[in-house]
Structure 1
Amino acid sequence: MKAKLEQLGIIASYSRSAVSNDNAFSESLFGSMKTRKQYPRQGFRDIEEAREWVLSFVYWYNNEHRHSGIKYVTPAQRHQGIDGDILAKRKEVYRVAKLTFPERWNTRDTRDWDYEDEIVFNPVKENKANSSEKNGQVA
């Protein structure tokens, strides 16, 4: 198996049990698949049905699913580089809406639609324990 992976140019990943961040991308994808309403809880009849379902899921995920981690554009829009225009238009719609109906937002800001050149997958959230360790302090 290892030789075949190497022949195909695939780097094997051996995650530790119960440590999902070793394979964060795979874990996230499987989570997205399993939480879809259309996920076949009863299983697949055969390998062909499984392949068809996965192909339809991948199409949906890449072309229809607006992903929260990339500011509610589709992965295809992000990959094609058209997300910047989409986000600029959304930002303008929200700006006009807030001016027109300020009571809707009260003092809150609108959603941040600024384009980000780099997106971090599963960013680490700073907490007191982490910042203390960075400063050489132990809680």
Structure 2
Amino acid sequence: TRERRRQATHPAKVKPELVADAPSQVWTWDITKLRGPAKGIWYHLYVLIDIYSRYNPGWILAAAEDSVLARDFIDEAIARNGQIPHTVHADRGTSMTSQPVSALLANLGVTRTHSRPRISDDNPFSEAQFKTLKYLHDFPGSFPNLSAARAYCDGFFAEYNHVHRHSGIGWHTPASVHFATTGPIDAARQQTLDTARAAHPERFARRPRPPQIPGHSWINQPTAELQKT
């Protein structure tokens, strides 16, 4: 029948279910457009994010989208990171599914996964960060040139990685989680809480603890796993 032929020609895409319990296990990446100085001029922002630490191991801004540029961008980010991720996830854009990117990841032994068509929830970390960027109070409606756009992004990613304390990772910075420097910070926080409890024990029913980093970070956590948490 026509319906059977349609299903055979367009098989259902698999729902990605990815989990990380440490940095450098699962990265996602995407490309978004930033408006340039005139109609039809766009700058293309390529961004990688680690789903466990929320750290950006790499970003670049270019005048065009290009699969070879995307390949080199990912390759250089992995080299800087000093550790090859197990999985790199992306949507089904042209660069994401391109031969240069696919060949690079295959040569490195990296598992490549993709979102289902038109389902933004399959790449939530990249989507959320782009929304954070574009909803900043000082985000301009357009940039006068590529240099100005790069300068703005440089400030954003420096702040995001090294200053911003993220509620989803125990109010640590992404860089602190990614490079495992949270221990002394948590110890100092615990000392502060213990001092407060000693000074005012009537305010605490039990020993207070600082916020914890979740043990796992998921894309599309299965229902069975949700019930365990």
Fold agreement, TM-score > 0.5:
yes
- TM-score interval for Structure 1 and Structure 2 normalised by the shorter chain: 0.5 to 0.7
Deviations 1:41-99 (A, max 9, x none): x2212222222211211111111111111111111111221101101210121121123
Identify the structure with the greater strand proportion. Answer: 2
Indicate yes or no: 2:199 matched with 1:91. Answer: no
Letter in 1 for 2:168: G
Identify the structure with the greater helix proportion. Answer: 1
Structure 1: any 5+ residue segments left out of the alignment?
Answer: 132-139
Indicate yes or no: 2:112 matched with 1:16. Answer: no
User: Do 1:44 and 1:50's aligned partners in 2 also have CA atoms closer than 8 Å?
Assistant: yes
Larger RCO: 1 or 2 (CA < 8 Å, sep 6+):
2
User: Do 1:67 and 1:74's aligned partners in 2 also have CA atoms closer than 8 Å?
Assistant: yes
**TM-score where L is the length of structure 2:** 0.44
Given the superposition, is the C-alpha separation of residues 6 and 122 from structure 1 closer, same or farther in structure 2, using an over 3 Å criterion?
closer
The whole-number CA distance in structure 1 between the counterparts of 2:179 and 2:123 is 25
CA RMSD of the aligned region, Å? 3.2
Task: Give matches, 1:1-139, under 5 Å.
Answer: 1=95, 2-9=98-105, 11=112, 13-17=114-118, 19-40=119-140, 42-102=141-201, 105=203, 107=205, 110=208, 112-113=209-210, 116=213, 118-121=215-218
The whole-number CA distance in structure 2 between the counterparts of 1:122 and 1:95 is 36
Q: 1:29: Cα distance to partner?
A: 1.1
Given the superposition, is the C-alpha separation of residues 9 and 48 from structure 1 closer, same or farther in structure 2, using an over 3 Å criterion?
farther
Given the superposition, is the C-alpha separation of residues 50 and 29 from structure 1 closer, same or farther in structure 2, using an over 3 Å criterion?
same
